[in-house]
Amino acid sequence: MTVVELVARSADQHPERTAVSWEHGSLSYRELNDRANRLANTLSERGLTHGAPVGVYTHRGADMIVALLGILKAGGACVPLDPQYPDERIRFMIDDARPSMLVTHGDLDDRLGGVPVRRLVLDRQAGEIGRASAADPAVAPPPTQLAYVLYTSGSTGVPKGVEIEHHALRDNAIKTARLHDLSADDVMLQFASLSFASSMGQIFAPLSVGAEVVVRGRQYSAAGLLDYVRARDVTVLWLTPSMINYLVRHAETSSVALAIPRLRLLRSGGEALTTSLARRWFALSDVPLLNVYGPTEAVQDVTACLLGEPPLVATIGRPIFDVEVFVLDDSREPVEPGTPGELYFSTPGMARGYLNQPGLTSERFVDVVISGRALRLYRTGDLVRMLDSGELEYLGRRDRQVKVQGHRIELGEIEERLTRHPAITAAVVVLSPSASGEARLVAYCMWSGGPGVREPDLMRWCATALPAAMVPTRFVGVDTLPLTVNGKLDRRTLDSADSGP
């Protein structure tokens, strides 16, 4: 089965249950399936072929879910395009993915100007879509067909598209539902951006079992988010550690209760969970905390650790289901427990590779022989060590990839954007804690001459091409960049140099 068939099964079993709700309404499973079928049949009538990429450039809400499901039903491959991204980045992803069609809203379509892609504008062409058949498309997509392409930050200065097949998306939905023990009685918040890997699990895992998906609309304050999940009776809350810290700090400083009446599980993922934050959560709540690790290329989760009381160490846990993990040295040989090494993993549901980048695909998806077994592994670039308990402790990155607000970011992509500025000859970006302890990006810039450029101007320069999470919040002008005795950039010196707010 594919996720298309899993959702259709939920619609057969629970036709009148709420499938999707958002700030302005809700859809039952029958309505969701019918609307997705009408969209799918409209796309097919317009000539969409199986495996062809289709851009999803919509506002958050029911239309976003309908667009995803309808494209998959029609056999297309979804390419999520977050409207909050800068136009330049959206245009790059369209140029790279070359979608045969774009599903969008009228005001967003106007932003794209002359981009040469056929459009299906949901609000302007609602009549045409409404007249299409609500019957299931005749042919379901095969398991090995491309289901979607998600773009993540790239070390070469441009985003890279991760290719996910239908069988991997299905496995992700089924195993995520099992990991969270989801049932038709659950309500899960769909919090992540559609361009963020966890969004697919937040959508298709609950829909595969007949649960309700609550789509976050606008960005909320901590108090607003708490009010929203309480009002929506959310039972499973899936957030990044940055957002968990946001809620916890609000409760600590405002002396307000963190209680969410129906919440039975808080899931943390997308960046490193600290032991300190886990302890602060349990000082305010007795809801179990599930800490999960898994990059976009895994499609599904790789490891997990369920915390039910204040932990000594918040680890990323053990491998789940059919995942195998390996901690290897630079020669790709296993290291002893307790010794740091790079994390590799293998799972049947891995990504196909990177769109239009065979070299990078062969570099990250590698063939390794371990104990006489020939394995295809994904090289994560993450450093870990295995504890005596058998759990994995996350130690950081071996390259220059970092996590900010749950977003995976290549610092080189930000530096490449900065060095395009006519007044900057060199730039280095580091992840540095602010005075309040929150992670923020700091850019060190060498000027080509003169007094430099004002910080707000540099922020605007970055924001025209980079998502908000990748825009440095502090810029420091330097005459030279420090070097080690080997002549390499001394990043450690820069890491400790900034003491600004």
Topology annotation, domain 3-166: Rossmann fold (3.40.50)
What would the DSSP string read from start to end of 224-280?
A: HHHHHHHHTT-SEEEE-HHHHHHHHHHHHHHT-----TT--EEEE-SSPPPHHHHHH
State the pLDDT at residue 488. Answer: 60
The rounded radius of gyration (Å) of the Cα atoms in the chain is 23
State the pLDDT at residue 156. Answer: 63
State the pLDDT at residue 330. Answer: 92
Contact 172, 180 (CB under 8 A): no
> Across the chain, what does the average pLDDT equal?
90
Q: Enumerate the domain spans of the chain.
A: 3-166, 401-497
131 φ, ψ (degrees, to nearest 5): -85, -10
pTM over 0.95: no
State the pLDDT at residue 369. Answer: 95
Contact 286, 267 (CB under 8 A): no
Q: Which of 116-125, 164-173, 278-287, 474-483 has the lowest mean pLDDT?
A: 474-483
200 φ, ψ (degrees, to nearest 5): -70, -40
Distance CA(236)–CA(243), nearest Å, equals 15
Inter-CA distances, 102 with 64, 113, 128, Å: 12, 13, 16
State the pLDDT at residue 498. Answer: 55
Q: Which CATH architecture has domain 401-497?
A: 2-Layer Sandwich (3.30)
Distance CA(168)–CA(294), nearest Å, equals 13
Instruction: Identify any residues that bridge with 424 across adjacent strands, giving them in sequence order.
Output: 447
State the pLDDT at residue 7. Answer: 96
Instruction: Count Cβ atoms within 10 A of the Cβ of residue 390 and give its class: 0-12 exposed, 13-18 middle, 19 or more buried.
Output: exposed
**In the structure, what pLDDT confidence band is assigned to residue 499 with cuts at 50, 70 and 90?**
very low
The string of pLDDT tens digits covering residues 30-69 is 999 999 999 999 999 999 999 999 999 999 999 999 999 9
The string of pLDDT tens digits covering residues 407-435 is 888 888 898 889 889 888 888 899 887 66
To the nearest whole percent, how much of the chain has pLDDT over 90?
66
What average pLDDT does range 224-247 have in this prediction? 92
pLDDT at 296 over 80: yes
Q: Which of 48-57, 185-194, 203-212, 472-481 has the lowest mean pLDDT?
A: 472-481
The string of pLDDT tens digits covering residues 380-401 is 999 999 998 899 999 888 877 7
What average pLDDT does range 227-239 have in this prediction? 95
What average pLDDT does range 297-312 have in this prediction? 87
What dihedral angle (degrees, nearest 10) is formed by the CA atoms of 118, 124, 128, 130? 130
The string of pLDDT tens digits covering residues 452-486 is 788 999 999 999 999 998 999 999 988 878 865 44
Taking alpha carbons only, the member of 320, 307, 299, 318 closest to residue 198 is 299
State the pLDDT at residue 210. Answer: 98
Tokens of 85: 């991204």
